[in-house]
Structure 1
Amino acid sequence: MSAGQIGAPLYVGTVGTEVWWVEPRPEEGGRMALMRRKADGDPHSPLPAPWNVRSRVIEYGGRPWTAAATGGGVLVVFADFADQRLYAYEPDVPGAEPRPLTPVSPVGGGLRWAEPEIDLGRGEVRCVLEEFTGEGPGDLRRLIAAVPLDGSAAGNRAAVRELSDDRHRFVSGPRISPDGSRAVWLAWDHPHMPWDAAELKIAEVGADGVMREVRTLTGGPGDPVAQAEWAADGGLLAACEGTGWWNLYRVDPETGETVALHAAAEEFAGVQRLGLRWFVPLPDGRIWVLHGLGAQRPALLDPATGELVDVPGERGEWLPHLALSGAEVVGVAAGPSTSYEIVAVDTVTLRTRVVGREHQAVVEAGFLPEPVTRVVVGPGGREIHARLHAPRNPGFAGPEGEPPPYVVWAHGGPTLRSPLALNLEIAYFTSRGIGVADVDYGGSPGYGRAYRERLREQWGVVDVEDCAAVARALVDEGVAAPGRLAIRGGSAGGFTAASSLVASDVYACAALLYPLLDLEGVATGQTHDFESHYLEFLIGPYTEVPGRYRDRSPGAHPDRISVPFLLMQGTDDVVCPPAQSERLLERISAHGVPHAHLSFPGEGHGFRRADTMVTCLEAELSLYGQVFGFDPSGVPALRLEA
């Protein structure tokens, strides 16, 4: 398999008729490459290795680049992962090299930047600034700032102008009105996450660009705002969740009054971080939207009539990375048999063309799984959304009458979901006789707030129960056999997988990738700031239910784990620190449980290097072979230690 096809291109943008984006390069040490496609050319990366265009704001990052047309070509501003400085680069100027725009701070995590927007008139680039004020993970402030394009701030923090105050812990999505007189953005504070309580702020923009007379238009707990945009006519649009579904509204900039544009029991947005866009206003007044239950597909919404017209095509999974280029909308889309591609859709003819990261059929179609969407009935009669990928290999078949082994995949987040897109990691296993059940357990977005809030104070319970319910349904239907089920997950999915070993006897083994194992550690400051209070929603306030944190921590119960597992961890992980994995391994050694541990120097939260990915997949396959009783050819044998 090609490690380069694991992962999707992100953060699409346009400069005139040019399309730009960033894409993962596992074969180049996991860097994110900035890509450029001129109207009459092929995609290429104007920045060679080791430039790594990736922001670390809130650790998960946000849109790390922007560009604008100049008299001499294009000016690009980007954040480089290595030092998190902003750099300016003019790729059309012969001999030009990236030049730093921001200083390096010696304090804590330094200065970090996301969602840049170039203002050539002022000679600045506006950004979301994350600034550490001390050595702790929570010693920081966030605000909207302006960095001069002339480089005068490269060694002088004082040259960075602060455009907003820092009264809120988090800010994202700043947008300037078409006439330049107003700005809107999203803001929220601990203990909330943005998808629970983000407010829509508005301010007057002075002649100096500073944002004054700040007030809240709408949003907050119970009615969070996921995205806001100015329309071409100066009107304000926002995606809000007051009805329990992310729908689109017109917002009065004076009163904050909202009017629904198309009320529906489906999602027109999702869980926001930084730089995500589910809708784009068009110059003619229509709105390009992504919508659906689970997977989101594009449509055109007429706000005057509420009419919604779906865009035809086989790519049923679009990511919230959208940009407008003339009469075309550019985005990132995939389908069950195609990987994520950069596509452009004509908003008049609705014709689609691929403009970048074109799908390469490195695996013959007969080896790819054909996903089947299922709804399984779980405890209490609740519905659980899942996707089944049966084994598929035209050259082999399992023994007649013998169900194949299955692996239940628990996605990360936990406020994420499993996309309906070609996943070559899944195909790696299904082509070798192992089925995969991708579970959107309670808490997953895409199915309304009630489904997402099933996880309120129930993490480690509902997710574990839902995954087990899907596994048992496979057995009841004869699709899988008892004793031939495994579970795997990364990050929050690793927590669910590890918790499943502690609380369930359904699985014969597990694969844990950079898992969260110690809830008490997270509650007492052993994680990054963005998610440092997330457990108050997922588990409950630590001061009120400290025992629940220990009870639900899989690392605290090694005596309840009785089946083999593989644990894979990066040494540079600041989200799920490797110390948590090390404590579990120390404790499990006293219980004689077969296990293996793979540690990867230089990897963070989520593996990005090709060699790491290959090693992990081969080790995981070897684990399943040893547990399920088959000999996987061509992969090194994984050594399990008791």
Structure 2
Amino acid sequence: MTASPPKQAAECGIWPSPISASVVAAGATALSQPMLDGADIYWLEGRASEGGRTTLMRRRGGVVAEMTPAPFNVRTRVHEYGGAACLVHGGVVYFSHFADNRVYTITDDGAPVALSAGGTRRYADFCLDSVRRRLIAVCEDHSRSSLQPANTLCAIGLDGSETVLVEGADFYAAPRLSPDGRQLAWLSWNHPHMPWEGTELWVANVAPDGSLSDARVIDGDTDVSICQPEWSPEGVLHFVSDRSGHWNLYLMAGSAPQPLCARAAEFATPMWTFGGSMYGFRSEFEIICSYIEDGVSRLAQLSTVSGELRPIEHPYQEIRELRVCGGTIAFLGGAPTIALELARIDLYGKRREILARSIAQLPPVAMLSVPESISYPSAGGRTSHAFYYPPCNAGFEAAPGSLPPLMVIGHGGPTSMASNTLKLATQYWTSRGFAVLDVNYGGSSGFGRAYRDALKGQWGVIDVEDCVAGAQHLAARGLVDPERLVIRGGSAGGLTTLCALTFHDVFKAGASYYGVSDLKGLDSDSHKFESHYTQYLIAPPPEAEALYQLRSPINHAERLKRPMIFFQGLDDKVVPPQQSEVMVEALRRSGVPVAYMTLEGEGHGFRKADSIIATLEAELYFYLRIFGLASGAGAAITIENLPTQ
């Protein structure tokens, strides 16, 4: 066997790497919403090379085909974040087209045909009522220009007619029809709550003409989160509730909910988007489920009689969007050396098959940094969790006596979760000699309700303290250079980044991707779904006013003395551009090095390949310039107020 050549010692941060920004963008195929329809499997793919368009794919008899050719974009903006934009049943496809909000149908390989009027109405989370020849869906009507949109459950007839079935609540999700078509279950909630704070599970009788009667609340409250209602094959309603402190599975036994598997584990994730699923029925007596323990996903068979969990062997540490049909399961799975992929498992033959990969061609394993799951002490006696990625490059190592720069990442949400699934965007940094710490700060999901609620009233405090503590922990262990600590984040993670740089003196630079800088402005500009979220994260009015003043970085720009780079989509409706622009202008006036990149046609999260490439290259260039590791030649972006070196 030929020995590997010795590694070359070099300054961390500038190692040559085959994982370029264009490789990251090319490998950014977003996979979502797997669906099983008999022997056929469908899923959605994002096309960064086509302006972020999402298309529907089908595998039938070993042949993969695209069902929705350009310009069709299978996407919905209900709640702005969308999800569950498509339904397949008996070979017939129903989907929402992003450009006109209309629902279309496709039969076999025919051309899409419009079903609904669209316009100001948006649709998501479809359920087929085949007996009455209609779709039941969540509808969001934006026709009231001066008011927030109206959310309802509606029925869309296959003849194009439309009827409102349920109205009156601020939000609806997950309409699910019983197998006999006689009962409809759904979720609702009202301001100021988010669905992971408190929801109600409703059931109503469905008359032969499709009208509803005897609507009643089955479970839920303002401080209990219910999600993922599903009917068993025999018509028993199941759902997930966090009443015990963890999102666990329940069934309705008579008029009372009964826990199926009491466990300190999460059988659900926050309902930021529609259609999330972590369980399905193999039979009346067996559920296939995934659940999260200590930040890692498990897969198991669950007996509905005994509550016993039997593990199913698989190589993944993250599992999303699990679907079950008889002896077949399909889901999105990932692990530290496996990028997110669509997997199918035959439970009878114990055979696993990969149907689609988010990254077609991975870099050599020797180029990949495998993360370590760490826990460390934070402020107030808390324990925080994170994934630590050491620098890794097959051809290079740190110069003698040197330590790598550290990039700390604060995820969005903030009620979200960092996973250890292979991401080329992370390996882009580690392969160049950066260490990366991906933090699941207090408030993250995946660790139970108490950990999630740790951020209640503490946004901009606990998340920041946990990121600061993580950087200090690694520096104290001698793993990273304490003089080259940077922090980056998007959306809510952008606020974490700004607060860390404004109110703490640990990080030397930072990057904000469409980040929140003005909490009061966020209330004024935010869309309906999140328009009251700060009442949970900060405080209800009028107590919030003083805290907004205290915690909003924009009000303390004179304290921000660290260089920053900002990235902002000009079509962002969640965190509008003025949030970044006001902060950039403040830094300009104060003489702090600052760079600002705007992106046409991008919203909250960047989908286009050109955007992914441009932002990554600019961010790397920015750090190298700040640390004196690059000249101004071939500048990727203009950095204002940067002293001549």
Q: Could you tell me which residue of structure 1 aligns to residue 348 of structure 2?
A: 348
Quote how far apart the aligned CAs of 1:281 are.
Answer: 1.8
Quote how far apart the aligned CAs of 1:16 are.
Answer: 1.4
Quote how far apart the aligned CAs of 1:235 are.
Answer: 1.4
Quote how far apart the aligned CAs of 1:363 are.
Answer: 1.2
Q: Deviations over 1:498-555 (max 9, x none)?
A: 11111111111001101111110122x3110000000000000132230111221112
Is residue 2:136 matched to residue 1:126?
yes
Would you say the 8 A contact 1:231–1:282 is kept in 2?
Answer: no
Is residue 2:605 matched to residue 1:595?
no
Q: Could you tell me which residue of structure 1 aligns to residue 367 of structure 2?
A: 367
Partners of 2:355 and 2:613 in 1: CA distance = 29
- When structure 1 is superposed on structure 2, of 506-515 and 326-335 the one drifting more is 326-335
Partners of 2:448 and 2:108 in 1: CA distance = 44
- When structure 1 is superposed on structure 2, of 367-376 and 271-280 the one drifting more is 271-280
Quote how far apart the aligned CAs of 1:211 are.
Answer: 2.1
Aligned pair partner of 2:153 in 144, 160, 165? 144
Give the TM-score of the pair, scaled to structure 1. 0.93
Partners of 2:290 and 2:430 in 1: CA distance = 30
Partners of 1:27 and 1:632 in 2: CA distance = 31
Is residue 2:487 matched to residue 1:479?
no
How has the CA–CA distance of structure 1 residues 211 and 4 changed in structure 2, closer, same or farther, with 3 Å as cutoff? farther
Write out aligned runs for 1:526-545 (5 A): 526-545=525-544
- When structure 1 is superposed on structure 2, of 258-267 and 417-426 the one drifting more is 258-267
- When structure 1 is superposed on structure 2, of 476-485 and 358-367 the one drifting more is 358-367
Q: Deviations over 1:14-34 (max 9, x none)?
A: 221111111111111111111
Q: Could you tell me which residue of structure 1 aligns to residue 115 of structure 2?
A: 101
Give the residue type in structure 2 aligned to 1:485: L
Aligned pair partner of 2:165 in 157, 163, 168? 163
Q: Secondary structure at the match of 1:345?
A: strand
- When structure 1 is superposed on structure 2, of 472-481 and 286-295 the one drifting more is 286-295
Q: Secondary structure at the match of 1:292?
A: strand
Would you say the 8 A contact 1:391–1:430 is kept in 2?
Answer: yes
Q: Could you tell me which residue of structure 2 aligns to residue 215 of structure 1?
A: 216
Write out aligned runs for 1:523-602 (5 A): 523=523, 525-602=524-601
Give the residue type in structure 2 aligned to 1:99: V
Partners of 1:2 and 1:623 in 2: CA distance = 18
Give the residue type in structure 2 aligned to 1:564: P
Q: Deviations over 1:372-404 (max 9, x none)?
A: 000011112211000001110011111112110
Is residue 2:37 matched to residue 1:15?
yes
- When structure 1 is superposed on structure 2, of 267-276 and 116-125 the one drifting more is 116-125
Quote how far apart the aligned CAs of 1:352 are.
Answer: 1.9
Partners of 2:231 and 2:404 in 1: CA distance = 53
Is residue 2:103 matched to residue 1:86?
yes
How has the CA–CA distance of structure 1 residues 632 and 246 changed in structure 2, closer, same or farther, with 3 Å as cutoff? farther
Q: Deviations over 1:53-111 (max 9, x none)?
A: 00100000020011222xxxx3211111111111112242xxx4222111143xxxx10
How has the CA–CA distance of structure 1 residues 178 and 633 changed in structure 2, closer, same or farther, with 3 Å as cutoff? farther
Write out aligned runs for 1:487-506 (5 A): 487-506=487-506
Quote how far apart the aligned CAs of 1:633 are.
Answer: 12
Number of aligned residues: 617
Quote how far apart the aligned CAs of 1:140 are.
Answer: 1.9
Q: Secondary structure at the match of 1:144?
A: strand
Write out aligned runs for 1:274-293 (5 A): 274-293=274-293
Give the residue type in structure 1 aligned to 2:401: G
How has the CA–CA distance of structure 1 residues 218 and 350 changed in structure 2, closer, same or farther, with 3 Å as cutoff? farther
Would you say the 8 A contact 1:246–1:266 is kept in 2?
Answer: yes
Partners of 1:7 and 1:225 in 2: CA distance = 31
Q: Could you tell me which residue of structure 1 aligns to residue 241 of structure 2?
A: 240
Give the residue type in structure 2 aligned to 1:543: P
Q: Could you tell me which residue of structure 1 aligns to residue 145 of structure 2?
A: 135
Partners of 1:47 and 1:308 in 2: CA distance = 39
Would you say the 8 A contact 1:618–1:636 is kept in 2?
Answer: no
Q: Secondary structure at the match of 2:581?
A: helix
Give the residue type in structure 1 aligned to 2:53: R
After the TM superposition, which segments of 4 or more aligned residues of structure 1 sit over 6 Å from their partners?
A: 632-635
How has the CA–CA distance of structure 1 residues 633 and 594 changed in structure 2, closer, same or farther, with 3 Å as cutoff? closer
Q: Secondary structure at the match of 1:196?
A: coil
Would you say the 8 A contact 1:388–1:436 is kept in 2?
Answer: yes
Alignment RMSD (CA, Å)? 1.7
Partners of 1:322 and 1:313 in 2: CA distance = 13
Q: Could you tell me which residue of structure 2 aligns to residue 611 of structure 1?
A: 610
Quote how far apart the aligned CAs of 1:433 are.
Answer: 0.6
Q: Deviations over 1:3-47 (max 9, x none)?
A: 142253111112211111111111111111111111321x23122
Is residue 2:66 matched to residue 1:45?
yes
Q: Runs of 5+ in structure 2 lacking a partner?
A: 1-22
Quote how far apart the aligned CAs of 1:215 are.
Answer: 0.7
Is residue 2:176 matched to residue 1:175?
yes
Quote how far apart the aligned CAs of 1:258 are.
Answer: 1.7
Partners of 1:541 and 1:284 in 2: CA distance = 45
Q: Secondary structure at the match of 1:33?
A: strand
Write out aligned runs for 1:432-451 (5 A): 432-451=432-451
Partners of 2:31 and 2:38 in 1: CA distance = 20
Give the residue type in structure 2 aligned to 1:338: I
How has the CA–CA distance of structure 1 residues 394 and 289 changed in structure 2, closer, same or farther, with 3 Å as cutoff? same
Q: Secondary structure at the match of 2:296?
A: coil
Quote how far apart the aligned CAs of 1:188 are.
Answer: 0.5
Partners of 1:412 and 1:278 in 2: CA distance = 21
Partners of 1:120 and 1:200 in 2: CA distance = 23
Partners of 1:334 and 1:369 in 2: CA distance = 15
Would you say the 8 A contact 2:121–2:143 is kept in 1?
Answer: no
Write out aligned runs for 1:358-437 (5 A): 359-437=359-437
Would you say the 8 A contact 2:24–2:425 is kept in 1?
Answer: no
Partners of 2:352 and 2:301 in 1: CA distance = 14
- When structure 1 is superposed on structure 2, of 309-318 and 466-475 the one drifting more is 309-318
Q: Could you tell me which residue of structure 2 aligns to residue 336 of structure 1?
A: 336
Q: Which has the higher contact order (CA 8 A, sep 6+)?
A: 2
Q: Deviations over 1:98-139 (max 9, x none)?
A: 22111143xxxx100001233343222221111124114x52
Quote how far apart the aligned CAs of 1:637 are.
Answer: 3.8
How has the CA–CA distance of structure 1 residues 602 and 358 changed in structure 2, closer, same or farther, with 3 Å as cutoff? closer
Q: Secondary structure at the match of 1:322?
A: strand
How has the CA–CA distance of structure 1 residues 53 and 552 changed in structure 2, closer, same or farther, with 3 Å as cutoff? same
Aligned pair partner of 1:67 in 42, 65, 88? 88
Partners of 2:305 and 2:189 in 1: CA distance = 31
Q: Secondary structure at the match of 1:20?
A: strand
Give the TM-score of the pair, scaled to structure 2. 0.93
Partners of 1:102 and 1:587 in 2: CA distance = 47
Q: Secondary structure at the match of 1:312?
A: coil
Identity %: 37
How has the CA–CA distance of structure 1 residues 62 and 360 changed in structure 2, closer, same or farther, with 3 Å as cutoff? closer
Q: Could you tell me which residue of structure 2 aligns to residue 156 of structure 1?
A: none
Q: Runs of 5+ in structure 1 lacking a partner?
A: 154-158
Q: Could you tell me which residue of structure 2 aligns to residue 630 of structure 1?
A: 629
How has the CA–CA distance of structure 1 residues 62 and 358 changed in structure 2, closer, same or farther, with 3 Å as cutoff? closer
Partners of 1:221 and 1:409 in 2: CA distance = 31
- When structure 1 is superposed on structure 2, of 345-354 and 370-379 the one drifting more is 345-354
